[in-house]
Amino acid sequence: MQVIRRRQSVPRTGEDRRGAALVEFAIVAPLFLTLILGTVEIGNALEASSQINASLREAGRLAGMDWVDLVDEGETPNQKVIRDIRNFLKAAGYPGDDLGITITSAEDSDFGEAFDLGDPDNEMRLFQIEATIPFEKISAFPHGFMNGHNVSGRIVMRAGRISLMD
C-alpha cells in the first residue's frame, strides 16, 4: 500500500500578494477618483443653483414691491432687478457678469415675450425671471465634460405693488 503524503503548506506572506494588490489598486483608484471628482462637481452645480434661486427670489420680491424710491434716476425697474441679481451672485463668489438674465411674461396672451416691470398695464400680471450661467464658469476642474451645459433657475411672480409702511 502506498501512502500519499500531503505537503504541508507554508503560510503565505504579504510579499507574494504585492502584485495583486497593485493591480486591484490600478483598477479601483480611477473609479474612486472619478466618483470623488463627480461628487465635487455636482456639489458646485447644486450650490450655484441654490444661489441663483435665492437671487431670483430676492429680485422677485423687489419687482413686487413699491420700488419707485428704490430705482435710481434714469434706470428702469428691469435694469435694477438685473443689476441686483448680478450683485447678489457676485457677493456669493460667482461671476455675475456671465449670467444670462431674462424677464418675460408668464401669461397666456404674450407668454415668453419681454416684460416691462415699469409698465402700469402689467400690474397684477404674471412674469418670469430666469438666470443662466455656463457650467464651465463655476466648475472647479477644467475637464470639459460638462462644457456646453448650463446651471439655471427661474421664478414666476405676480407684478403687484406692495407699499412699504413707514
Residues 6 or more apart in contact with residue 88 via CB below 8 angstroms: 51, 54, 55, 58, 59, 96
Q: Which residues of 124-133 are buried (b: 16+ CB within 10 A; e: fewer)?
A: ebebbbbbeb
**From first to last of its 166 residues, what are the pLDDT tens digits of the chain?**
676 666 666 566 555 666 788 888 889 999 999 899 888 888 888 999 999 999 999 888 887 777 777 778 888 888 989 999 999 999 988 888 888 999 999 987 888 899 988 888 888 888 999 999 988 888 877 666 677 788 899 999 888 765 555 4
Three-state DSSP state, 33:
helix
Instruction: Count Cα neighbours of 39 within 13 Å in the Cβ-side half-sphere.
Output: 6
Domain ranges of the chain: 23-158
- What residue ranges in the chain does DSSP mark as E strands? 100-105, 126-134, 150-158
Cβ-in-10-Å burial (0-12, 13-18, 19+) of 137 comes to: middle
- Among the listed residues 110, 104, 114, 118, the one whose alpha carbon sits nearest the alpha carbon of residue 155: 104
CB count within 10 Å of CB 105 equals 19
User: Residue written as cell 464658469?
Assistant: 137
Predicted TM-score of the model (pTM): 0.74
